[in-house]
Amino acid sequence: MTVLPDFRLETYFSRWEFTARHHLTASDAQTMAMSELLALAGPEDRHAWEHLTLGYTETFGDPALRHAIAGMYEHLDADDVICFGGAQEALNLAMQVLLGPGDHAVVVTPAYQSAETVPLSLCDVTGIALDADRDWALDLDALTAALRPNTRVVSVNFPNNPTGKVIDAEDFTRLVRLCDERGIHLFSDEVYRGLERDPARTLPQAADLSERALSLNVTSKSLGLPGLRIGWIACRDGELRSRLERAKHYTTICNSAPSEILARIAIENRERILARNRGILAANLPVFEEFFAAFPELFDWQAPDGGCVAYPRYLGPDGVEDFCTGLVEEAGVLLLPASIYRSELTPTPPDRFRIGLGRRDPGPALEAFADWLTARR
């Protein structure tokens, strides 16, 4: 097994996330206080919270939590869900269960780093790059051509991190059928589902479309509750779910009992929380539009289709890496430069940066950002 490289995003965050004055690259929606979340609890969940004992929990996850999660899907029940300590554990273990020496995987880029590096540590991987010059389009013909007889996994993420791209539902359905026809597991990262600018563009969930597909989700992103550390995989393949459970025995074994109850409350109230978070995004987008419009010589801005991050182009002569370094060191405003999303599989644009749109009151951060830019003119 190949040793995994440093996780560039987390290494960068370990330096700046809690020291920069303005975290303007957050990938999650605005979080809520414990009191706000508990105020949403019904009598049964409130009783469960108040009388919780802090013992071990079931490896597959709390049955009531899994039942609540299954309610998010059209064709799944609680037995089709297995919970993990966040999306990262789920992704890591899924790839270890699905892939091995002699196998092949296809990964769409740019992507969250582990979506690429974990498969690369296990087998041969081909990257298919979203086309930045065509609104981050996914070339399904190129993806089809990349498939091999030993391809076991195709990994995608829509709404995409960092680009915010959402492909057409017709193309997504075509991708699911393509994988099914070839006996391939589609691994679909759906952690930003529910934050589409146009709700009509919300994609179906892969696990609803195929018995072989895996849908990854988490409380961290669209719901804005990363502190709960609860993620899950929904999949109708019972044998695969059993293998995932056995793999989990070597990592977290089981989830935090308090987090499972809090996650259940959040998921049971997900429509209310998502509406709140979509409202924050809708209020923020014009603010960001106005900001970037004031500096047309420096930025090529495009609002994301979904999720709460965008990936603008930086046009300045100093390059995006120096730009992001100077901004955080001199103005205390944190962005993620393109190097964080570089790929070993495909070329990736070197002039982009990730900016977060999902936190309340971005005004002070954007003001500090604008003051710094103006002083450099």
CA distance 373 to 265: 43
Domain ranges of the chain: 8-33+271-376, 54-268
CA distances from 116 to 84, 171, 231, 297 (A): 20, 22, 19, 34
* Interatomic CA distance for residues 100 and 142, integer angstroms: 24
Q: Which tens digits make up the pLDDT trace of 30-78?
A: 999 999 999 999 999 999 999 999 999 999 999 999 999 999 999 999 9
* 8 Å CB contact between 352 and 19: no
Q: What is the pLDDT of residues 288-298, one digit of tens each?
A: 999 999 999 99
The DSSP annotation for 305-351 comes to SBSSEE-PEE--TT-HHHHHHHHHHHH-EE-EEGGGG--SSS---TT
Question: What percent of the chain has pLDDT above 70?
Answer: 100
- Cβ proximity of 310 and 132 under 8 Å: no
Superfamily in which the 8-33+271-376 domain is placed by CATH: Aspartate Aminotransferase, domain 1 (3.90.1150.10)
The percentage of the chain sitting over the pLDDT mark of 90, rounded to a whole number, equals 99
Return the structure tokens found at 314: 């930086």
Q: Please classify residue 340 by burial: count the beta carbons closer than 10 Å to its beta carbon, then call 0-12 exposed, 13-18 middle and 19+ buried.
A: buried
Instruction: Quick: pLDDT tens for 337-358.
Output: 999 999 999 999 999 999 999 9
pTM: predicted TM-score of the whole model, two decimal places: 0.97
Q: What CATH architecture applies to the domain 54-268?
A: 3-Layer(aba) Sandwich (3.40)
What is the CA angle 342-347-349, rounded to 5? 70
Residue 184 sits at φ, ψ, to 5 deg, of -100, 145
- Give the residue among 371, 238, 352 at the shortest CA–CA distance from 299: 352
Q: Are 341 and 354 in contact (CB under 8 A)?
A: yes
Q: Which amino acid is at 40?
A: L
